[in-house]
A and B are shown apart, each in its own frame.
Chain A
Amino acid sequence: MIGTLDAKIPSGPLDRKWQSHRDHSRLVSPNNRRKVEIIVVGSGLAGGSAAATLGELGYRVKCFCFQDSPRRAHSIAAQGGINAAKNYQNDGDSVYRLFYDTIKGGDFRSREANVYRLAEVSNLIIDQCVEQGVPFAREYGGLLANRSFGGAQVSRTFYARGQTGQQLLLGCYQALCRQIAAGTVQMFPQTEMLDIVVVDGHAKGIITRNLLTGKIDKYAADAVVLATGGYGNAFYLSTNARGCNVTATYRAYKKGALFANPCFTQIHPTCIPQSGDYQSKLTLMSESLRNDGRVWVPKRKEDCRKPPDQIPEQDRDYYLERKYPSFGNLAPRDISSRAAKEVCDEGRGVGPGGRGVYLDFADAIKRLGEDTIRERYGNLFEIYHKITGENAYKVPMRIYPAVHYTMGGLWVDYNLMSNVPGLHVIGEANFSDHGANRLGASALMQGLADGYFILPYTLPNYLAGQMGKRPSTDHAEFKKAETDVRAKIDSILRVNGNRSLDSIHRELGTLLWNKCGMARNAEGLREALSKIPELRDEFWRTVRVPGKGQDFNQSLERAGRVADFLEFAELMCIDALERDESCGGHFREEHQTPDGEALRDDDNFATVFAWEFQGNGQVAAPKLHREPLHFETVHLTQRSYK
């Protein structure tokens, strides 16, 4: 059904592709725009900015989110900042450098043309957000301030205290509110998308459940945009919000959209370690802490239970400084995370369960004084204190890696359209820009690039040929999709077993974390692939979901999402097994350099893996499609941060 994957990358030199593509894309005239209905699912940075911008252009937009307000989408929790190639610091930054850093940081597993475009529009995002009144940090002369972030050698990160995601999202939410008031966008909060409707091969609508009443509704549109975020919660414990889920993208996958690189997940090195089984989520400590904190563990296992102040300097192993002398504590996320896992696997981890390493500010406090450290990181030290009850000015913080972001997502072409015509996917929900590892402060950039400055140009290219083709919700495909959604809800409620949803989800998460987490190997992945179907079976035999479908029922909402994670987890492991190389966050233990770094196999795997759902509603081995990555501008090198 699907031929070769065509990413539709425009021809011409890299730095002219986007301009020439825009010059030749089709347009929809203003009087026709008001006849066009667009569905946007998700209201975070990508969905919110897309809905607001398309509304402003005069399209009729319906925007859906499961939260009680679009302002609560999980983009709000991003702390560090947003990158742009403004070169305000005169330190040699450029569009090309931001492009190159992103390609290299992604370990050469993303598309050159997409990433170059992202770097190009990064500057427009800053202009747009400033104009909206986003209170970015300023210098005394009134100019915008920057900081260096995530191991970059230039200062290109714009920030609003430790709440950059919140401020960017509020800017975008306010733009959305303006369109809601103007009547161009109709907002549907507390409404969850449960299926995509495909009519004559085109995505033409969705089926939703109103979370307050349980009512199932059908909505038809000329195009559907998914901006539903990542799937980090497959691991149960992650830094994602509790509600983040794979349901929208997974159900689109079951309707024919290809899922690309699902095994590419980002494990963030600096999170507060898990303290017990009851724990419901993990909290990130901004990466910026590594600018002044030193990471260490005891050299000897025997010392791990001693209080840190009783371990003398010569008995400490500052392992990042030792292994990566030039980047030291600022080594990229995937590398720092793996190094922490390694020392804990050796039995040298600290804190409960031995899964933690110290992030020590004693030297920085000695050098700069406690006041300076408080000024730089005060709010983070407070969060740490609230959660752990410990004072990090006196004792070193304990940190451990945690699932944070997913680079994989639905496959899209250069127009951000999936292989299902009409179905567009933006933000974390697509796979396009970060390759096998995302750099710090690039997620916010991508979400807003897609929503404000890319989709509004590429969507009309599709819409122009679709005028008047919007089906009615009475179409048989809508009825069938609605029936399927109802049947799925009923079957979950019918199980009426004796096991709690969380206990099953937790078991899945532990399995994925151990077998498809920071390090993977063929044997472990095969083991996971045999266990996941058993667990899925267990879910469908024993899960207990109380209440009714036609009601506000939080257990039912979550059960539907966990059911999808239980299928999707298998796809992650299949992908991880098939990608028989190491790259970025995907570390296959069989493929490493003599000193333990990821060893890519560019001859065989410089390619996107895009999986097609097979089977008739049931899970079956998916079919693999490949999109080879062509590097015309950059040379593939081994990433070195030593």
Chain B
Amino acid sequence: MNFRLKIWRQQDRQSKGRLVKYEATDISPNASLLEMLDIVNERLLLRGDQPIAFDSDCREGICGTCALTINGEAHGPDHPGAACELYMRKFRDGATIIVEPFRVRSFPIVKDLVVDRGALDRIVQAGGFVSARAGSAPEANSILVPKHDADIAMEAAACIGCGACAAACPNASAMLFTAAKVSHLAFLPQGQPERTSRVLKMVTAMDAEGFGNCTNTYECEAVCPAEISASFIAKLNREYVRANWQTRSGD
């Protein structure tokens, strides 16, 4: 198959970027989009050009490293799935494919298609954990968790931390990411002791990183490779209100 590519090239955070045209010829329909970029890069390299910088690692949709906007959609047209799970047979032969990084102010561009998503780590550092010291955990089956709660917690915990939710959101909101972690731990008995402080700290950190607010456009849910439901955002809102009410009444 043959494709026309328009790819975002940007030397570093400070430079101005632009879309550059490339031809990708003789590509197998069974190649993944990232493998197509590998091929283009190998050709660029051999003719003395700078290869296109892009991030990937596991290439099976679980590590959350790849962060591409393809034809305007975070992770491309084949939802649900990360960009690394997108195969060229999904495109028409001869199609034009536009590849850009995730566009979020809180994810500054490192180079070309690579962005810095440290902001997401900092949200988790603010409180997205259970304080459980190794050595003091009780016997595992002494904590009973109804199957239904465990299943919902798992649905939220499946988030791969790619940041597509923020990239797809017109407000560049990271609410789905934050909601997934808050919900995962709020649905479990182990998460209860820190439930109130966790949501307050995480939301504060999220705001401090410059992410926008949720206005219920559901773009996040539509692009999420882990199919995290936007209903967790409602859960986050309830948790936030509850926590605010609780801390105020406690004052």
- The stretch of A166-174, A433-441, A623-631 that contacts the partner chain: A166-174
Which B residues lie within 8 Å of A175 (CB)? 129, 132, 134
B21 contacts partner chain A, Cβ-Cβ < 8 Å: no
A386 contacts partner chain B, Cβ-Cβ < 8 Å: yes
Cβ contact of B118, chosen from A69, A139, A174, A284, cutoff 8 A: A69
- The stretch of B141-149, B166-174, B241-249 that contacts the partner chain: B141-149
- The stretch of A124-132, A293-301, A329-337 that contacts the partner chain: A124-132
Minimum CB distance partner of A142 in chain B = B144
Measured CA separation A300–B203 after assembly (Å): 64
In the assembled complex, the CB of B250 is this many whole angstroms from the nearest CB of chain A, namely 23
A291 contacts partner chain B, Cβ-Cβ < 8 Å: no
Determine whether the beta carbon of A242 is less than 8 Å from that of B59. yes
Minimum CB distance partner of B190 in chain A = A133
Measured CA separation A170–B191 after assembly (Å): 14
Residue interface mask B52-90, A partner, CB < 8 A = 1: 010111111111110000000000001001000101010
Measured CA separation A361–B134 after assembly (Å): 42
Determine whether the beta carbon of B87 is less than 8 Å from that of A72. no
Residue interface mask A517-540, B partner, CB < 8 A = 1: 000000000000000000000000
In the assembled complex, the CB of B190 is this many whole angstroms from the nearest CB of chain A, namely 4
In the assembled complex, the CB of A132 is this many whole angstroms from the nearest CB of chain B, namely 5
- The stretch of B95-103, B119-127, B211-219, B229-237 that contacts the partner chain: B119-127
Determine whether the beta carbon of B147 is less than 8 Å from that of A131. no
Measured CA separation A243–B66 after assembly (Å): 13
Determine whether the beta carbon of B63 is less than 8 Å from that of A241. yes
A345 contacts partner chain B, Cβ-Cβ < 8 Å: no
Determine whether the beta carbon of A386 is less than 8 Å from that of B57. no
Determine whether the beta carbon of B57 is less than 8 Å from that of A243. yes
Minimum CB distance partner of B123 in chain A = A177
Measured CA separation A142–B157 after assembly (Å): 18
Cβ contact of B39, chosen from A70, A278, A388, cutoff 8 A: A278
Determine whether the beta carbon of B57 is less than 8 Å from that of A142. no
Measured CA separation A181–B197 after assembly (Å): 14
Measured CA separation A498–B32 after assembly (Å): 26
- The stretch of A12-20, A302-310, A544-552, A594-602 that contacts the partner chain: A544-552
A312 contacts partner chain B, Cβ-Cβ < 8 Å: no
Cβ contact of A174, chosen from B28, B78, B130, B137, cutoff 8 A: B130
Determine whether the beta carbon of A72 is less than 8 Å from that of B121. no
Determine whether the beta carbon of B154 is less than 8 Å from that of A131. no
B31 contacts partner chain A, Cβ-Cβ < 8 Å: yes
Measured CA separation A547–B52 after assembly (Å): 12
B contact patch SS: loop
Cβ contact of A500, chosen from B28, B42, B140, B185, cutoff 8 A: B42
A56 contacts partner chain B, Cβ-Cβ < 8 Å: yes
In the assembled complex, the CB of A58 is this many whole angstroms from the nearest CB of chain B, namely 11
In the assembled complex, the CB of A56 is this many whole angstroms from the nearest CB of chain B, namely 6
Determine whether the beta carbon of A160 is less than 8 Å from that of B62. no
Count class of interface residues, chain A: 35 or more
Determine whether the beta carbon of B132 is less than 8 Å from that of A67. no
Determine whether the beta carbon of B190 is less than 8 Å from that of A131. yes
Determine whether the beta carbon of B190 is less than 8 Å from that of A177. no
Residue interface mask A155-168, B partner, CB < 8 A = 1: 00000110100110
Measured CA separation A283–B116 after assembly (Å): 27
B131 contacts partner chain A, Cβ-Cβ < 8 Å: yes
Minimum CB distance partner of A74 in chain B = B58
A456 contacts partner chain B, Cβ-Cβ < 8 Å: yes
Measured CA separation A186–B191 after assembly (Å): 25
Which B residues lie within 8 Å of A590 (CB)? none
Determine whether the beta carbon of A133 is less than 8 Å from that of B57. no
In the assembled complex, the CB of A185 is this many whole angstroms from the nearest CB of chain B, namely 10
Which A residues lie within 8 Å of B6 (CB)? none
Cβ contact of B31, chosen from A127, A170, A212, A276, cutoff 8 A: A276
A373 contacts partner chain B, Cβ-Cβ < 8 Å: no
Measured CA separation A14–B182 after assembly (Å): 44
Q: List 16 A-B contacts (CB under 8 A).
A: A53-B134, A69-B117, A71-B121, A130-B143, A131-B130, A133-B132, A135-B188, A163-B158, A241-B57, A278-B39, A283-B59, A284-B60, A386-B81, A453-B134, A500-B42, A546-B45
**A binding-site residues for B, Cβ under 8 Å:** 49, 52-53, 56, 67-72, 74, 76-77, 86, 88, 124, 126-128, 130-133, 135-144, 160-161, 163, 166-167, 170, 173-175, 177-178, 180-181, 187, 189, 212, 241-243, 275-276, 278-281, 283-284, 383, 386-389, 452-453, 456, 498, 500, 502-503, 544, 546-547, 552, 554-555
Given contacts A69-B118, A167-B157, 17 further A-B contacts (CB under 8 A): A77-B60, A130-B140, A131-B140, A132-B129, A132-B190, A133-B185, A135-B157, A166-B158, A212-B116, A241-B59, A275-B28, A279-B31, A386-B85, A452-B134, A502-B42, A546-B48, A554-B51
Nearest 5 A-B pairs (CB), nearest first?
A142-B144, A174-B129, A131-B137, A135-B154, A127-B137
